[in-house]
Structure 1
Amino acid sequence: MTSTEPALQHVLDQERAHHERCRTALAAMVEGAGQQVVIGADVSASGADAEVLGYQLRSRAKALRELPEGPLFFGALRGSEGQLHIGRLRISEHPAEPPLVVDWRAPVSRAFYQASARDPQGVTVRRRFGWAPGSRGDSGDLTGLEDEHLEQGETRDSEIVAREIERPRVGPMRDIAATIQPEQDDLVRGDLALSVCVQGAPGTGKTAVGLHRAAYLLYTYPQRIRRGGLLILGPNRTFLSYIAEVLPALGETGVRQSTLGEEIARGPVRGVDDERAAVVKHDARMAGVLRRALYARVRPEGNGAEIALPDGAYRWRVPAGQLARIVTEVREEEPPYEVGRERLRARIVRCLREQVERRAGPPPGAWVRRIERARPVSAYVDAVWPRVRPEEVVAGLLGDEAALAAAAEGLLDAGEQRALLWERPPRSWKSARWSAADLVLLDEVAGLIAHPEGYGHVVVDEAQDLSPMECRVIARRARFGSLTVLGDLAQGTTPWAARAWPTVLAHLGKPDAAVVTLTTGFRVPQAVVGLANRLLERLDVEVPAARSLRGDGELRMRETTVDGVPGAVVAAVRDALGREGSVGVVAADADVPRVRTALDAAGIGAAGPDEPGARVALVPASVVKGLEYDHVVAVEPAAIAEAEERGLHRLYVVLTRAVSRLEVVRGRELPF
């Protein structure tokens, strides 16, 4: 059913009228939410209750105000109980009345994604709406509709869904609420308690699945998520700016979207490691080295002295041997370092209290609190279990050959230890120039000293590039929460990139998480996927080849001389600009200045990768991961492949960024 049939014009007019009614209701909801904030400020309640109420009201008002303009529904279901419109948030004229639009995350909406002619799930008709590209929500932009009569066994490929998937990609990433496929929906609606790993080939929508799963969890488990929080971890700020509008479009604001480096930042990164040092620092064995270095500061034998505590006419004593046994017992329990300090203090006080009880009965609480902070007790605790900062531990390790050798014995060989040592140790940890890898080590030690606050759920994208030590950073923050792990082993480009998901999941603390593979691409055309699959055979990972549902798209090879590459790039970009959509020019990092000079000379302004709305972007190959462009001009694949150890993996990433057309410009032979 489409709006081009005259008999259906009346139906289309009815739907436009319904949308206008929804717009009016939404405006009233926004105004009402603002009024509730004002009224809530005057509500008489306890301080804690008032704070919670105020937070909830303000959050609701903020989410409604920041909802991006656009169509308010994209589908409808008709069944025995009438028709339900499906949209990105619930819209009603009154809370007690049936909604005009049902949130796509509501249980009743699941049938929109899962119902089929074989299993109608109570749906007689599934309707999809077609909107004008870039619609800001004007009811007149409703241009068509399709009906699928499931009760009659009708199954059809939706032209509306196909157009939405293939729509040009200018600007940031869009949500896919209108086009979620059944296998994606299963992942999105997974239980909060379950961790899941999604191995997704290029164009299969794994990032979108992760973001929609986050939105679903926020909707379904608001109290549990509010207690722990939800974190989206991306590989870099470029990627985060690209996905930044997805959750607000789904009605969710205030979600923390961050990089791993931002999560663990304890100060500026001013140092640079060579690759050998970085590889060792990111190795899982460093966790054992750091634990040894930290607990080497604990001396079970103490200073051989006893504790003698004056108390009026008496002097209470704890012998040196008994103190040493207490320290050893606490060490063997392996508590966090700071917990161990306080546990040691508590057991010493207990020994003293037992002496008092035997002589004069239970002491008052004030006596116990005084003894806990008594100078002899505190002096002993500080001597055998001293306070320490992570920076002191790491600086003491990397700047002292003997200390490193003691901590690394049996874990790192002599060459690895030499790679870690600073050439010129700083005078103190305060003047150390920490590298990005050092921050990971500092976070490990900080986690040994005291457990960090965790999140209720963490979504980790591009997880194939995480090192074992970076995985441990995330594991500490999801110790009592769950994870959605997204990635593609074929796109692993770091020296420590994963070869298998079970290893990654073990380091993340979720060894039992299910691994689900997505191989059906919805964004990348078959011609592009076919080229990428030829390269996939050369990569050192075992992942299934991708396939695409899109028979459109174009792949072109533009051959030239090595010196003619810049001019050929200009010609390729001009060809792309003659078509609709965004253009991404991707080159090896070292070639970017040369390509930019050629584009500037030709009068073609190219933005950087941090401007997702630009028509033309010039992107270094090292930061293109996760981004998509309608037209990609891949510059000299051989140079991209030679630029780094896992250069073929990087090239695989570059070749799979196009969602309409890929043009490969080369002056040398392809490296596969």
Structure 2
Amino acid sequence: MREDAQALDIRDVTANWVNAAVLQRQIDDRIKALADLADTPLFFGRLDYLHAPGAEQAEGAEGEQFYIGRRHVHDADGDPMVIDWRAPVSQPFYRASKKDPMDVALRRRFGYTGGDLTAYEDEHLSDPAESARTSKLLQQEIERPRVGPMRDIVATIQPEQDEIVRSGLAGSVCVQGGPGTGKTAVGLHRVAYLLYAHRERLARTGTLVIGPNRSFLHYIEQVLPALGELEVHQATVDDLVTARGVEIRGTDEATAAIVKGDARMAEVLRRALRAHITPPTEGAVVVRGSRRWRVAQYELEEIVRELASRDMRYGAAREALPQRIAHAVLVQMERAGESPDDRVQNAVARNAAVKAVVKDVWPAVDPAKLVLRLLSDAEFLAEHAAGLLDEDEQKAVLWVKPARSVKAAKWSPADAVLIDEAADLIERTHSLGHVVLDEAQDLSPMQYRAVGRRATTGSVTVLGDLAQGTTPWATASWPEALAHLGKPDAVVEELTAGFRVPTDVITYASRLLPHIAPGLTPVASVRENPGSFAVREASGVDDVVAACRRALRHEGSIGLIAADPRCAALAEALTAAGLPYLSPGEETTADARLTLVPASLAKGLEYDYVVLDDPAAIVDAEPDERTGLRRLYVALTRAVSGLQVLHTAPLPEQLED
């Protein structure tokens, strides 16, 4: 298929060089999408149907076999050899069971090692003599050691995951899932499915994956390309809001960040913006040729009042104002016997007198300057925050040293979100077809609004775990978060089956749940391998280095997770011991498998073996105990095969035997 694309000759098929350039780019993208991935097999399963599929699956014949894979593959005659995992005929590979075989006689799973086919396993779903059993290949794939970035899970998608992946584009979905339940993978595969089922629509409107930080995005960036999807953009919330033209150079105290992230700030901004609208103090006189046309003050007041009462963006109403004034002039012209047309109305709207009225009554507002004034001018803030923020909250958000200009200001991430809100009040933000929001539990209400306005005409997949919320403004409940997002009708799904975290590890970490998220169902690991788990007292960094050496004897990636303040000392100790280490997000290789991970960056990452340094230090590094325990819960659940917990200080009482 790739060779056919490379052999296309377009020299005589286009009308001009522009069409030729566009077509060549499309061919280049097609060739890139068909690139070989040495360790990624094209097919991983086979379905043998009892009967021919229905009319919508007319390619099947009675008794025909369908090979299921990551990509559609056809032969030289165009006949399918491998069926895309997203096609309707492939769905029984994930959902068929002994109870409901879905007309499948046999399901075959293929096992690979390093890209080579090494095993296969058959399930005779329609044979009553064969009892249901757990797939050993499926267990081996789930528990296989991981080196490098996150992989796709097309070979191991479970029925409850598949139901979410294949849900329609029109509806939004919120997935609550504990560690190792595959919520991130489900969200990414849902994007791939939607691009397959609604490619033309999403090609026009666009898709976006939002992650908590750059390390996380780097970790997941190969999943969609491995499925042939190259056009999905990835960003953090900070990336979205700084696109408005401000640079984040400052930070906020927790108190200030909480207030700035509160949804009440949206109303404060709306009031401050609308305060720029002032009633006209006199009428307007428009001169055209020898005639003078007067629009009385009361008429201008009525026009301004009517526009202000409508649910319009500030900028859109400002653009409509001169046309409304011009229309009032045209009505007078018609009464005088003239026959003005649209060109005359546009000319009147551009008249200097009309422009002067608009400038005085409805002035242009820069969103960054508006936020700058709110955060610098105590009287201006008090006027528009009255009844919304109390005095202490107003003091918390005011800058101690006000900036003189937008460029000189040391904007914080929360400030940039306020500017984004103000910009949307002025001009509508472009909406995408679908947005995936991962690690959503850590967003503030204002950040939810920033994401939501980028999907006002599209849908959203929200992924998160309330127990892993580690910001002072962490989400309290999904209905509340979805309301801020503008998707109150989104369906909330809960994943409770754990596929990655070993049984012993998730059982130990779940001791924290009653203290950090008492309403959540603990994750139940479905792995047959319980994993390795140990809690040991340590005397210092030398014991931590020794634990890393022991972990490196195992196959796969190793993560040393520690409280942020302790990472510098551990880095020195690893260097002195001759152990090379990576930073979070850097790709592990056969020669470099150890990553030193600050606890604040561990969320969303996974390692085959984890050495966890001093749980009490992780808790103490946070502003309060509950946030610290949530951070510890995240750190404990990063292990896929084994976990060693080392402590010099006593363990938090919630983890003591």
Q: 1:76 aligns with which of 46, 55, 70?
A: 46
CA distance 1:541–1:308, shift in 2 (3 Å): farther
User: For residues 224 and 101 of structure 2, what CA distance do their matches in structure 1 show?
Assistant: 30
Q: 1:293 aligns with which of 268, 272, 275?
A: 272
Partner of 1:311: 288
- Which deviates further from its counterpart, 64-73 or 374-383? 64-73
After superposition, the C-alpha distances for 1:238-283 in whole angstroms (9 at most, x for unaligned) are: 0001001100111111210111111111232112211111111111
Partner of 1:105: 86
The residue correspondences of 1:452-491 to structure 2 (distance < 5 A) are: 452-491=429-468
User: For residues 226 and 606 of structure 1, what CA distance do their matches in structure 2 show?
Assistant: 40
The residue correspondences of 1:254-273 to structure 2 (distance < 5 A) are: 254-265=231-242, 266-273=245-252
User: For residues 25 and 315 of structure 2, what CA distance do their matches in structure 1 show?
Assistant: 33
SS in structure 2 at match of 1:74: strand
User: For residues 604 and 352 of structure 1, what CA distance do their matches in structure 2 show?
Assistant: 80
Q: 2:629 aligns with which of 615, 635, 648?
A: 648
User: For residues 371 and 53 of structure 1, what CA distance do their matches in structure 2 show?
Assistant: 45
> Which amino acid is 1:75 matched to?
G
Partner of 2:536: 558
User: For residues 330 and 36 of structure 2, what CA distance do their matches in structure 1 show?
Assistant: 60
> Which amino acid is 2:73 matched to?
I
The yes-or-no answer on 1:663 pairing with 2:644 is yes
User: For residues 50 and 339 of structure 1, what CA distance do their matches in structure 2 show?
Assistant: 39
> Which amino acid is 1:218 matched to?
L
**How far apart are residue 430 of structure 1 and its match?**
3.4
The residue correspondences of 1:143-542 to structure 2 (distance < 5 A) are: 143-153=118-128, 154=130, 155-265=132-242, 266-299=245-278, 301-302=279-280, 304-542=281-519
> Which amino acid is 2:68 matched to?
I
The yes-or-no answer on 1:128 pairing with 2:109 is yes
After superposition, the C-alpha distances for 1:572-619 in whole angstroms (9 at most, x for unaligned) are: 111111111111000000000111122222221111112131400000
Partner of 1:31: 3
SS in structure 2 at match of 1:101: strand
CA contact (8 A) 2:44 2:109 kept: yes
Partner of 1:13: none
The yes-or-no answer on 1:44 pairing with 2:15 is yes
**How far apart are residue 382 of structure 1 and its match?**
1.1
SS in structure 2 at match of 1:622: helix
Partner of 2:55: none
User: For residues 298 and 468 of structure 1, what CA distance do their matches in structure 2 show?
Assistant: 28
Give the count of matched residue pairs: 630
The percent of aligned pairs where both chains have the same amino acid is 52
User: For residues 649 and 523 of structure 1, what CA distance do their matches in structure 2 show?
Assistant: 19
Unaligned runs of 5+ in 1: 1-28, 136-140
CA contact (8 A) 1:200 1:519 kept: yes
> Which amino acid is 2:606 matched to?
E
CA contact (8 A) 1:68 1:249 kept: no
SS in structure 2 at match of 1:531: helix
**How far apart are residue 352 of structure 1 and its match?**
0.6
User: For residues 465 and 568 of structure 1, what CA distance do their matches in structure 2 show?
Assistant: 33
Partner of 1:91: 73
User: For residues 89 and 21 of structure 2, what CA distance do their matches in structure 1 show?
Assistant: 33
User: For residues 629 and 361 of structure 1, what CA distance do their matches in structure 2 show?
Assistant: 79
Q: Which structure has more helix as a fraction of its residues? A: 1
SS in structure 1 at match of 2:436: strand
Partner of 1:24: none
Q: 1:580 aligns with which of 555, 579, 584?
A: 555
> Which amino acid is 2:598 matched to?
P
Q: 2:584 aligns with which of 609, 614, 621?
A: 609
CA distance 1:497–1:330, shift in 2 (3 Å): same
CA distance 1:54–1:295, shift in 2 (3 Å): farther
Partner of 1:16: none
SS in structure 1 at match of 2:402: coil
Unaligned runs of 5+ in 2: 52-60
User: For residues 137 and 12 of structure 2, what CA distance do their matches in structure 1 show?
Assistant: 46
> Which amino acid is 2:89 matched to?
V
User: For residues 615 and 193 of structure 1, what CA distance do their matches in structure 2 show?
Assistant: 42
User: For residues 175 and 479 of structure 1, what CA distance do their matches in structure 2 show?
Assistant: 29
Moved over 4 A (4+): 49-56, 66-69
SS in structure 2 at match of 1:117: coil
User: For residues 385 and 141 of structure 2, what CA distance do their matches in structure 1 show?
Assistant: 56
The yes-or-no answer on 1:119 pairing with 2:97 is no
CA contact (8 A) 2:210 2:435 kept: yes
> Which amino acid is 2:558 matched to?
V
> Which amino acid is 1:337 matched to?
Y
User: For residues 60 and 503 of structure 1, what CA distance do their matches in structure 2 show?
Assistant: 42
User: For residues 368 and 346 of structure 1, what CA distance do their matches in structure 2 show?
Assistant: 7
CA distance 1:463–1:669, shift in 2 (3 Å): same
**How far apart are residue 392 of structure 1 and its match?**
1.1
CA contact (8 A) 1:500 1:541 kept: no
User: For residues 67 and 354 of structure 1, what CA distance do their matches in structure 2 show?
Assistant: 69
**How far apart are residue 41 of structure 1 and its match?**
8.0
CA distance 1:231–1:113, shift in 2 (3 Å): same
> Which amino acid is 1:432 matched to?
A
Q: So what's the TM-score if we normalise by structure 2?
A: 0.93
After superposition, the C-alpha distances for 1:520-575 in whole angstroms (9 at most, x for unaligned) are: 00001110010011111111452111110114201101113xxx231221121111
The yes-or-no answer on 1:629 pairing with 2:607 is yes
User: For residues 38 and 486 of structure 2, what CA distance do their matches in structure 1 show?
Assistant: 37
**How far apart are residue 429 of structure 1 and its match?**
2.5
CA contact (8 A) 2:322 2:350 kept: no
SS in structure 2 at match of 1:448: helix
After superposition, the C-alpha distances for 1:614-650 in whole angstroms (9 at most, x for unaligned) are: 4000000000000000110111001101111311100
CA contact (8 A) 1:565 1:665 kept: no
CA contact (8 A) 1:456 1:482 kept: yes
After superposition, the C-alpha distances for 1:203-224 in whole angstroms (9 at most, x for unaligned) are: 0000000000011111110011
CA distance 1:541–1:477, shift in 2 (3 Å): farther
SS in structure 1 at match of 2:494: strand
Partner of 1:61: 31
CA contact (8 A) 1:175 1:208 kept: yes
SS in structure 2 at match of 1:517: strand
Partner of 1:9: none
After superposition, the C-alpha distances for 1:313-346 in whole angstroms (9 at most, x for unaligned) are: 2211111111111111111103101101012222
> Which amino acid is 1:86 matched to?
I
CA contact (8 A) 1:67 1:251 kept: no
Partner of 2:546: 571
- Which deviates further from its counterpart, 141-150 or 426-435? 426-435
CA contact (8 A) 2:612 2:646 kept: yes
- Which deviates further from its counterpart, 66-75 or 226-235? 66-75
CA distance 1:521–1:232, shift in 2 (3 Å): same
